[in-house]
């Protein structure tokens, strides 16, 4: 095999595997891009590296300068990926993390030396974003990369994920991925549409459970600036919501083709199957869906072993997605 | 938004349904639609799991027994 100088050289160039055995239609191929193969375990390795390198280019971070502090809100994957990059670059990372994320994420952050700042679980991701914004205003010397608004986030996907997909799957007709910061969909979507305007871009809205209950009014809502900046409403062709039960069921079904993946990937696969179901019998189509991470960080959820009803109930109070 | 979580409402488009809803529950009017009748920026409306912003917005057609879900926009996903 190839020899690499740094773990960071292992980011990207992930494999694509045929999972059409789970396709509802024989004329529709479904391919899964396995982002769990990245060194810190998720698609967010691409984003973390891109965010840090952009900050180094524009001078917000200086390689080798001691005591530089970064702050970022994350429910897990971005934090873990940034923690890896920061450890290798010798930056101190503070991650604002809702209290109700799965314990594996907390431990991975600590393993890579990140500091955790708790945000109220009931306020979910929006609460973590607000707290990180406030802390960065109070501490202007901290570097706030703010993945939700930083063009380096979609750029990571425009310059790596998108080109990899088109090189490996030139016959692609649909791209289906989960919507979080919208970085993947905006970056890959823009890259594909520029080269193949007919490719359909589908977003999967993950279940939001307790987070929705924690909102007092719509004024607490949030649309990521990178979604607006990239004219997301016109870039996307469809957006479907996938419920917790469906996500867990599809996470389990993916083991039938040998894939042990995170719950948001179950949601993405459910979205790919919904997409396949809309395609006419006489048309052949190739859907690429993005598997954001592997299942290891979710073992404590019991998603593969416990009664589905119990897992769905737990998903209302713990951030799984 | 409190109270009942599932209710039956008449209308042949998403806009008509939401308007009927705000007549029944005037307190939520500003939470759903802007003054010009478009969807509130932080409101996501789904007809049978499909976001209506990509189906024609408030003009999207609805049939009997379609299920409409109203959800606030949140910074979700595996972020």
pLDDT in tens, A45-84: 999 999 999 999 999 999 999 999 999 998 789 999 999 9
Q: What percent of chain B has a predicted confidence (pLDDT) above 90? A: 41
- Residue B43 with chain A: CB contacts under 8 Å: 218, 221
pLDDT in tens, A11-35: 999 999 999 999 999 999 999 999 9
Enumerate the residues of chain B whose CB falls inside 8 A of the CB of residue A237. Answer: 54
Residue B7 located in a structural domain? no
pLDDT at A207 > cutoff 80: no
Cross-chain Cβ contact B31/A148 below 8 Å: no
Task: Calculate ∠ Cα A236-A239-A244, nearest 5°.
Answer: 145
pLDDT score recorded for residue A126: 80
On whether residue A115 sits in a domain, the answer given is yes
Clarify whether residues A169 and A221 are in a common domain: yes
Residue B78: which pLDDT band, with cuts at 50, 70 and 90? Answer: very low
**Phi, psi at A72, each rounded to 5°:** -155, 135
Q: Which residues of chain B have a CB within 8 Å of the CB of A242?
A: 49
pLDDT-derived band at A217, boundaries 50, 70, 90: low
The alpha-carbon gap from B1 to the nearest alpha carbon of chain A, in Å, equals 7
Please give the tally of structural domains in chain B. Answer: 1
pLDDT band at B34 (very low <50, low <70, confident <90, very high): confident
- Residue A139, pLDDT > 50, answer yes
What's the angle, vertex CA A214, arms to CA A204 and CA A309, rounded to 5? Answer: 60
CB within 8 Å: A208 and B69: no
Whether residue B3 is contained in a domain is answered as no
The band of B35, judged by pLDDT with boundaries at 50, 70 and 90, is confident
A:B CB pairs within 8 Å: 110
Of chain B residues 12-71, which have a CB less than 8 A from chain A?
31, 40-44, 46, 49-51, 53-54, 69, 71
**Looking at this predicted complex, what is its ipTM?**
0.86
List Cβ<8 Å contacts ≥24 apart for A308-313: A308/A245, A308/A248, A308/A249, A311/A248, A312/A244, A312/A245, A312/A248
* Number of structural domains found in chain A: 2
Query: Distance (Å) from the C-alpha of residue A3 to the closest C-alpha of chain B?
Result: 30
- pLDDT band for position A141 (50/70/90)? very high
pLDDT, mean of residues A198-211? 80
Question: Which pTM does this prediction carry?
Answer: 0.93
Report yes or no on A58 lying in a domain. yes
Name every residue whose Cβ is closer than 8 Å to that of residue A218 and which is 6 or more positions away in sequence.
B31, B40, B42, B43, B72
Tokens linked to A88 = 């290798």
Overall average pLDDT of the A250-276 stretch: 97
Q: Where a domain ends, among A118, A144, A170?
A: A144
For A256-285, the DSSP string reads GGT--B-HHHHHHHHHHHHHHHTS-TTS-E
Question: A195 with A131, same domain?
Answer: no
Provide the shortest C-alpha distance from residue A129 to chain B (in Å): 8
Q: Classify residue B38: in a domain, yes or no.
A: yes
Are A166 and A246 members of one domain? Answer: yes
A210: pLDDT strictly greater than 50: no
Nearest CA to CA, how far is A261 from chain B (Å)? 12
pLDDT value at residue A216: 55
Whether A221 and B50 lie within 8 Å, measured CB to CB: no
Q: Under an 8 A CB cutoff, do B75 and A208 touch?
A: no
pLDDT at residue B79 in the model: 45
In this complex, the residue of A129, A180, A221 whose CB is nearest that of residue B78 is: A180
**Minimal-distance CA residue of chain B relative to A219:** B42
The verdict on a CB contact (< 8 Å) between B76 and A125 is yes
Q: Has residue B42 been placed in a domain?
A: yes
Nearest to B74 by CA among A124, A113, A270, A304: A124
Same domain, A297 and A171: yes
Q: Which domain holds residue A173?
A: 7-37+158-315
What pLDDT was estimated at residue A316? 74
| Of the residues A111, A144, A177, the one at which a domain ends | A144
Strands (E), chain A: 16-18, 28-34, 69-73, 92-98, 115-119, 143-144, 174-178, 200-205, 238-241, 285-291
Q: Which residues of A touch B52 (CB under 8 A)?
A: none
- Given a cut of 80, whether residue A321 has pLDDT beyond it is no
| CATH number for the domain that contains residue B26 | 3.10.20.30
């Amino acid at each position: 095999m190839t020899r690499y100088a740094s773990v960071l050289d292992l980011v990207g160039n992930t494999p694509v595997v045929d999972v059409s055995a789970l396709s509802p239609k024989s004329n529709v191929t479904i391919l899964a891009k396995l982002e769990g193969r990245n060194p810190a375990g998720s698609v967010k390795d691409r984003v973390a590296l891109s965010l840090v390198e952009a900050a180094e280019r524009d001078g917000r971070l200086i390689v080798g300068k001691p005591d530089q502090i970064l702050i970022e809100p994350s429910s897990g994957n971005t934090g873990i990926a940034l923690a890896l990059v920061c450890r290798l670059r010798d930056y101190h990372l503070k991650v604002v993390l809702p209290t109700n994320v799965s314990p594996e994420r907390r431990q991975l952050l600590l393993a890579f030396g990140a500091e955790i700042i708790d945000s109220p679980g009931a306020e979910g991701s929006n609460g973590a974003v607000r707290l990180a914004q406030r802390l960065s205003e109070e501490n202007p010397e901290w570097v706030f990369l703010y993945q939700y608004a930083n063009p380096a986030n979609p750029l990571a996907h425009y310059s790596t994920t998108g080109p990899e997909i088109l090189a490996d799957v030139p016959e692609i007709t649909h791209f289906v991925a989960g919507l979080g910061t919208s970085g993947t969909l905006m970056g890959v979507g823009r890259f594909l549409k520029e080269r193949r305007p007919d490719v359909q871009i589908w977003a999967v809205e993950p279940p939001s459970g307790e987070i929705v209950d924690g909102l007092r009014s719509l004024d607490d809502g949030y649309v990521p600036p990178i979604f607006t900046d990239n004219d997301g409403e016109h870039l996307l062709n469809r957006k479907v919501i996938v419920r917790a039960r469906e996500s867990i069921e599809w996470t389990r079904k993916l083991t039938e083709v040998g894939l042990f993946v995170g719950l948001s990937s179950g949601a993405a696969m459910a979205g790919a199957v919904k997409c396949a179901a809309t395609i006419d019998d006489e048309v052949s189509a190739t859907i690429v869906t993005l598997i954001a991470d592997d299942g290891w960080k979710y073992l404590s959820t019991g998603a593969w072993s416990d009664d589905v009803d119990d897992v769905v109930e737990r998903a209302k109070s713990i951030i799984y997605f | 938004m409190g109270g009942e979580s599932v209710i039956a409402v008449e209308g042949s488009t998403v806009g008509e349904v939401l308007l009927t809803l705000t007549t029944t529950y005037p307190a939520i009017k500003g939470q759903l639609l802007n003054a010009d009748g478009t969807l509130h920026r932080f409101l996501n409306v789904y007809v049978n799991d499909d976001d209506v912003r990509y189906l024609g917005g408030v003009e999207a057609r609805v049939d009997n027994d379609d299920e409409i879900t109203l959800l606030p926009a949140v910074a979700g996903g595996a972020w």
